[in-house]
Structure 1
Amino acid sequence: MQRLRFLAALWAGKLAALAIRLLARGRGTNLPGSLALKIDPLFLQHLRGTDPARTVFVTGTNGKSTTTNLLAHMFERAGYRLAVNRQGANLTPGIATSLIAHTSPFGRVRADLILMEADERFLPITAGQLRPGHLCVTNLQKDQVQRNGAPDIIYDKLRQVIRRDTVLYLNNEEPSAGSLRALAERTVTFGVEQNDKSFQKPGPLTTTVPCPFCSQPIRFDVYNVDNVGPFCCTGCGYASSPRPDCLVADVDYENGRFSVDGDPYPFGYATPYFLYCYSAAVAIARAFGLPPAVIASACADFVNIGGRFERFALGDKTVQYIRMKQENPETLQSAINHIAADPAPKIVVLGLGEIRDDYPYYTNTFYTYDCDFERLEASEVTRYLCFSDTVCYDSAIRLRYAGVPEERICIVPSNDGREVLRALDRQQGSNVYLITLLRVFEELVAAAKGLAGAAEG
């Protein structure tokens, strides 16, 4: 009876996936898996041909999608057949959907390797059915407090999943992720050497994180990205290793190059944030025996999924989009750092918004006060535009606290793409940076195309 239920779930999922391909290509990354799990709640567990030694999960707060997609590109360049969730559908239904696409009609997974981005909060549920023999933790940081609570809650969830025989790939320079090394017999650490874009924080923003062992403050020697860098606990002495197993060194942002153990690698996404994704992917690829030449070849032509760093035109303006995760100060700070590194005069468009995961919707912008907007203000920003139908004034107030004069802030109390773009078009300057959510960015791109079409007509 159980076997029949599983097969019914599998075939229902396959039929749903076929219907989506025919009627709404590019959508439905969760629906087939959701349907299969509704019929058979242990669907993943009942798949045949899975093996923990050939199952890799990538989890953590930030960098999961990029690391997974880069790693998939490396494995495919080496000739692997992969089952992978490229679009970032990282909850159990999304992972089930990806596996349905790589499973025979009788339930056997047809892949050399299962590689999945896995949501950190739901990892115990997913791993309870599909055990990963290899687990990469990119970082554990503040994120979506109304959903995840404190990072310690996520930390405890990861501890539930890790077994002594799990091979861990851990960020050497993020204290919480790095501390998980004590739970497994084999650990591969990855990190990034101090480089031209490493930085110190000014006094008011030197708040740190507690040591995962003794709860005393962690002291960072330098930051490669926000709250990630070489560190030492002021209490028990817990510290990052000066020589992780995979160290990205000799970073050349201008020419897009770095090295690992003397082997050169190109990288097209030449920002500090992405360096840790490259470091993690190289660490895992090397652990699986991929040759440096194959890894370098994959790095050279890797194209990330959309919505990380994109551009679109608005009249004579070039709008450069930098994605942030709502309620995530680390990704917002990374965006600020990237913009502040541009010495040219610029307009900054800030489109924070509400969280619609649950009702009532959540509009708290507390996380912006963890970020160094003063650094942005010191970088030749000529004009700010804050838009949102809920929190545009909250964004403007944060800028005022950073010392931005009121007359340099334009407020648009709307999410209407055309209204926002018309307000932007009235601002003087052609160099524009946009920080907002991916969904809002896509709406603005569509609005820009509509305005361009209307102008041509």
Structure 2
Amino acid sequence: MKRIWFTIVLWGSKFGLFLCRLLGKNGTYIAGAFALKLQKDFITHFTHVDPERTLFITGTNGKSTTNNLIVHALRASGKKVTTNLEGANLITGVATAMIRDSSMLGRVNGDYLIFETDERYLAQIYEQLPAKNLCVTNIQKDQVQRNGEPDFIYKKIAKVVNKDMRIFVNNEEPRALSLEDYAGEVRTYSVERHSKSFEKNGFYDVTMGCPKCNNKIAFNYYNVDNVGEFRCTSCGFHSRIQPDVQVTDVDFENRTFRCDGVSVHMPYDQPFFLYNYALAIAVCKMFGVGAESVSKSFESFRNIAGRLELIPYKTKEIKYIRIKQENPETLTTAFDFISQDKERKIFLIGLEQLEDFQPFYTNTFYAFDCDVESLLHSNIEHCISFSEAVAYDTANRLIYGGFPEDRITVIPSDENDDIFAELDKYDCDNVYLITWLHKYEQMMEDLPKYE
């Protein structure tokens, strides 16, 4: 009887997907939400699902990019993959992907099932789809209204990891690597020290507690913020000397690195992408696709979840860096990306009230968690700090970092008229913008009237 009901629900869900396409909607989760409402264990009834060929990708940063890289490489090698490339990473998004890529009787078409999964809902998804493979990119401070602090997320992921599971973990991220204690098989991926690695010796620098003994973690250097070669000052827990897969010989100028004896082209040359590449190579290697084949696929890779938008405005070019502003690591990475451009520039930053769920809230500590020194010494001609919520707090962080107060304009408002009027005062055409996605979309909607 359950099987008959599953088939009826599946047909109804497929019809819903058809209607979404007809109306020009993506429908990344609606069909799955409908199906799961009618049958709570809906996903368990699909057939042709091999747990050994099922992989979840979770963690704070890098899930979408890594998912896209792995799927692109596997498909380029001729593999059939069922996935949620659109980023709908809750159980409803996973269900929708399986509805879309299955027969009328529920036989999944993909030989491999690769899903980006939200770290808070990993256990719920695993309950219905017990994958044998789990990738953990990193576990860091993120969206505190929903996620609390990193140890809360760590416990949620650790609850799923078991001795019947193979995990891929970041060798230079202490929380992720410490999950080795719970898994049956551990495969580590790593990035060797390179020309853009750095050390911290600033007043605002903080470290983290060891996930095994709660004492101090010391980083020898960082490849990206809070990720690098480390050791615990008490129990001796440290990044492995010989990881399973390691990116070496990074050449940012020529956009290449070496991995598993192969020279690999970098589709994107920012340092944080290197860990995505290393993880993709590690996973593909396990699925029988070598580094040479993966390297070839990277040459045609374009990231679906783009992070840089180029917008012409009068004589200017606005470079919008899309980030989660509730995440200090991605904010620091954005700062580091801007600092690589040594040409004179205008910097617009609008950190906003965080509207996740009510009651909405504001905080100021994200900017104080970030290293701003390289940004402030990268030839910024003027900074415009706007936001009804935290414009002055953001400006103060830059001033405390050493940026001249007389080169900062504070706009305690979210009015686009005020922002663009201030931008028009400067003849510098090289403009960088950091703000949350909703504000960016509002600015782009109003852009034509200012031109």
Alignment TM-score > 0.5, same fold: yes
Residues 306-455 of structure 1 aligned to structure 2 (within 5 Å) = 306-417=305-416, 420-448=419-447, 450-451=448-449, 455=451
Residue 222 in 1 paired to residue 224 in 2? Answer: no
Residues 135-284 of structure 1 aligned to structure 2 (within 5 Å) = 135-284=134-283
Match of 1:302 in 2: 301
Match of 2:14 in 1: 14
How far does residue 89 in structure 1 lie from its aligned partner after superposition?
Answer: 0.8
- Give me the TM-score of the superposition, normalised by structure 1: 0.94
Q: Which moved more, 1:56-65 or 1:380-389?
A: 380-389
Q: Give the direction of change, closer, same or farther, for the CA distance of 1:432–1:301 in structure 2 (3 Å limit).
A: same
How far does residue 45 in structure 1 lie from its aligned partner after superposition?
Answer: 1.7
Q: Give the direction of change, closer, same or farther, for the CA distance of 1:418–1:255 in structure 2 (3 Å limit).
A: farther
Q: Distance in 2 between matches of 1:418 and 1:127?
A: 48
Q: Which moved more, 1:1-10 or 1:35-44?
A: 1-10
The one-letter code sitting in structure 2 at the alignment partner of 1:126 is I
Q: Which moved more, 1:84-93 or 1:374-383?
A: 374-383
Q: Distance in 1 between matches of 2:185 and 2:246?
A: 18
Q: Distance in 2 between matches of 1:18 and 1:356?
A: 32
Q: Distance in 1 between matches of 2:238 and 2:231?
A: 4
The one-letter code sitting in structure 2 at the alignment partner of 1:106 is L
Q: Distance in 2 between matches of 1:28 and 1:424?
A: 38
8 Å contact from structure 1 (residues 337, 376) kept in 2: yes
Partner SS state of residue 272, structure 1:
coil
The one-letter code sitting in structure 1 at the alignment partner of 2:96 is T
Partner SS state of residue 90, structure 1:
coil
8 Å contact from structure 1 (residues 5, 39) kept in 2: no
Percent identity of equivalent pairs: 44
How far does residue 113 in structure 1 lie from its aligned partner after superposition?
Answer: 0.6
Q: Deviations over 1:88-144 (max 9, x none)?
A: 111111111111111111122111111100000110111111111110000001111
8 Å contact from structure 2 (residues 367, 397) kept in 1: yes
The one-letter code sitting in structure 2 at the alignment partner of 1:92 is I
Match of 1:5 in 2: 5
The one-letter code sitting in structure 2 at the alignment partner of 1:345 is R
How far does residue 177 in structure 1 lie from its aligned partner after superposition?
Answer: 0.2
Q: Deviations over 1:269-307 (max 9, x none)?
A: 101111111111011111111033321111111100243
Partner SS state of residue 277, structure 1:
helix
How far does residue 424 in structure 1 lie from its aligned partner after superposition?
Answer: 2.2
How far does residue 419 in structure 1 lie from its aligned partner after superposition?
Answer: 5.0
The one-letter code sitting in structure 2 at the alignment partner of 1:407 is D
The one-letter code sitting in structure 2 at the alignment partner of 1:22 is L
Residues 42-57 of structure 1 aligned to structure 2 (within 5 Å) = 42-57=41-56
Q: How many residues align?
A: 451
Q: Distance in 2 between matches of 1:215 and 1:160?
A: 19
8 Å contact from structure 2 (residues 145, 356) kept in 1: no
How far does residue 414 in structure 1 lie from its aligned partner after superposition?
Answer: 4.1
8 Å contact from structure 2 (residues 348, 384) kept in 1: yes
Q: Distance in 2 between matches of 1:47 and 1:416?
A: 50
8 Å contact from structure 2 (residues 259, 291) kept in 1: no
Match of 1:110 in 2: 109
Unaligned runs of 5+ in 2: none
The one-letter code sitting in structure 2 at the alignment partner of 1:5 is W
Partner SS state of residue 392, structure 2:
helix
Partner SS state of residue 205, structure 1:
coil
Q: Which moved more, 1:181-190 or 1:121-130?
A: 181-190
Match of 1:100 in 2: 99
Partner SS state of residue 123, structure 1:
helix
How far does residue 407 in structure 1 lie from its aligned partner after superposition?
Answer: 2.9
Q: Distance in 1 between matches of 2:27 and 2:374?
A: 41
Q: Distance in 2 between matches of 1:214 and 1:240?
A: 15
How far does residue 402 in structure 1 lie from its aligned partner after superposition?
Answer: 2.5
Unaligned runs of 5+ in 1: none
- Give me the TM-score of the superposition, normalised by structure 2: 0.96
Q: Deviations over 1:320-340 (max 9, x none)?
A: 222221221111111111112
Partner SS state of residue 272, structure 2:
helix
Q: Distance in 1 between matches of 2:349 and 2:230?
A: 32
Match of 1:82 in 2: 81
The one-letter code sitting in structure 2 at the alignment partner of 1:17 is L
Residue 34 in 1 paired to residue 33 in 2? Answer: yes
How far does residue 233 in structure 1 lie from its aligned partner after superposition?
Answer: 0.5
Q: Distance in 2 between matches of 1:110 and 1:60?
A: 27
Partner SS state of residue 311, structure 1:
strand
Match of 1:71 in 2: 70
The one-letter code sitting in structure 1 at the alignment partner of 2:317 is T
8 Å contact from structure 2 (residues 263, 295) kept in 1: yes
How far does residue 349 in structure 1 lie from its aligned partner after superposition?
Answer: 1.2
8 Å contact from structure 2 (residues 319, 432) kept in 1: yes
The one-letter code sitting in structure 1 at the alignment partner of 2:333 is S
Q: Give the direction of change, closer, same or farther, for the CA distance of 1:307–1:436 in structure 2 (3 Å limit).
A: farther
Q: Distance in 2 between matches of 1:195 and 1:419?
A: 42
Q: Distance in 2 between matches of 1:47 and 1:100?
A: 9
Q: Distance in 2 between matches of 1:357 and 1:203?
A: 32
How far does residue 54 in structure 1 lie from its aligned partner after superposition?
Answer: 1.2
8 Å contact from structure 1 (residues 65, 88) kept in 2: yes
Q: Distance in 1 between matches of 2:306 and 2:408?
A: 26
Q: Distance in 2 between matches of 1:32 and 1:412?
A: 43
How far does residue 416 in structure 1 lie from its aligned partner after superposition?
Answer: 4.8
Partner SS state of residue 435, structure 1:
strand
Q: Deviations over 1:358-402 (max 9, x none)?
A: 111122122111112233222221111122333333322322332
Q: Deviations over 1:248-277 (max 9, x none)?
A: 001011111000132110012101111111
Match of 1:58 in 2: 57
